[in-house]
Amino acid sequence: MRRRRAAVAVGFCASFLLGSVLNVLFAPGSEPPRPGQSPGPSPAPGPGRRGARGELARQIRARYEEVQRYSRGGPGPGAGRPERRRLMDLAPGGPGLQRPRPLRARPLPDGVPGWPPAPGPGSPGPRPRLGCAALRNVSGAQYVGSGYTKAVYRVRLPGGAAVALKAVDFSGHDLGSCVREFGVRRGCYRLAAHKLLKEMVLLERLRHPNVLQLYGYCYQDSEDIPDTLTTITELGAPVEMIQLLQTSWEDRFRICLSLGRLLHHLAHSPLGSVTLLDFRPRQFVLVDGELKVTDLDDARVEETPCTSSTNCILEFPARNFTLPCSAQGWCEGMNEKRNLYNAYRFFFTYLLPHSAPPSLRPLLDSIVNATGELTWGVDETLTQLEKVLHLYRSGQYLQNSTTSSRTEYQRIPDSTIPREDYRCWPSYHHGSCLLSVFNLAEAVDVCESHAQCQAFVVTNQTTWTGRQLVFFKAGWSQVVPDPNKTTYVKAPGRPV
């Protein structure tokens, strides 16, 4: 009998251990979450969890009030009640959209504000153009990525336009840790969703060419959680710093100029000076070469209160800065300076000086040094970046830098050289030497500076600054007709 009991106990322990191992190996969250995916049933609330409900309610109310603060000022023309319809799972083979039904805000216990939040003075602003109806019959749903709170998906609308959808990540850390702490899935969803709602409000209030466009939003039901929020935004490409370092200086400068314009806008926004507490390349995207901020749920408008400058220490991993405390009891310019130093350490120091035109490097070095020391604010930084753009676009940076060539070039109109490429860095094309030039004299200078160059082909394509793209060639044994290009070959005794 004792042996039988021991065998049963050993078998039970082995089964429990095997189940634990399988649970670890096949835990949910290893696959990209689908829109509408549920994290599973909430743990049964015990006495400790019931006591923590008040803390959860306090956090939800704090985020709700933050959204209301950012929304104040009155809605724009045409604002109305957000369209609320059921957007079901967008994964291939999903059940599709159901019939529209009216939704009501449902109050939580302990006085937590209802959800969805009722619009009015605290609405996100002008009514977005796209709602749930625009998401019928979408195609090509793809998981893009996720962060602490949100998951992002790419879909194609019936008209062919690609957009991004953002929703609370049901497998994410934010929602999961809340459910483990409080055991209330609906309440935890509302806590996380207020970050998405805050981002939606800020995208609307901070509209700017370097802020991602908000196209619309939709409320959906997700299993046992009603009225989950999905935002519809402009689609951008992730910022990959390693790839950016391999691009032309002109494109890298455009990113830095975009960032300077964005920081100037944030410092003088309708809401006040806005700081990005989570300032990393992954919070930005590229849209047609322009840098745009996409993640605003960790943005903050309020300046830091202080009684002396000892309360105004701006801390970074490499160094700290002490800012003055104003007579009104606020750290002067802390939001602006935090953004500016982060722009220096994540973008300017890597993208601005390298492979820049030699005559522009002293000015670019001064921009990098001044932002690294915080001796300039965003206004002066943007002024100097715009000055670089003017010098580059107008060709003034070439004064006293071009030399008269001893080699003469023969002009062959309506022609190109299909082969005989060589590589140079940085080039617009990885398999050849494709650079932008201001004029013909600069193209000759570039060819003279490359030992391999024996000819170049001027195209009719231009960059964002209006400069012409030119292919530089190692030879010209084969010249073929092309009405959109002009070829110049080294030919002593023949003038350009």
Angstrom distance (rounded) from CA 54 to CA 52: 5
Angstrom distance (rounded) from CA 29 to CA 169: 10
Q: Which of 278, 298, 445, 482 is catalytic?
A: 278
Using CA atoms, how far residue 476 sits from 386, 413, 440, 482, 489, in Å, is 40, 14, 18, 15, 7
> Cβ atoms within 10 A of the Cβ of 280, count?
11
Residue type, 72: R
Dihedral pair phi/psi, residue 352, rounded to 5°: -80, -55
Angstrom distance (rounded) from CA 286 to CA 207: 16
Annotated catalytic residue 278: yes
10 φψ region: left (φ > 0), alpha (ψ -120 to 50), beta (else):
alpha
Residue 483, preceding bond cis, omega within 30 degrees? no
Question: Residue 50 contacts by C-beta under 8 Å, 6 or more apart in sequence?
Answer: none
Angstrom distance (rounded) from CA 101 to CA 117: 17
Of 469, 473, 453, the C-alpha closest to 461 is: 469
H or E, element range at 486: strand 486-490
Residues with catalytic annotation?
278
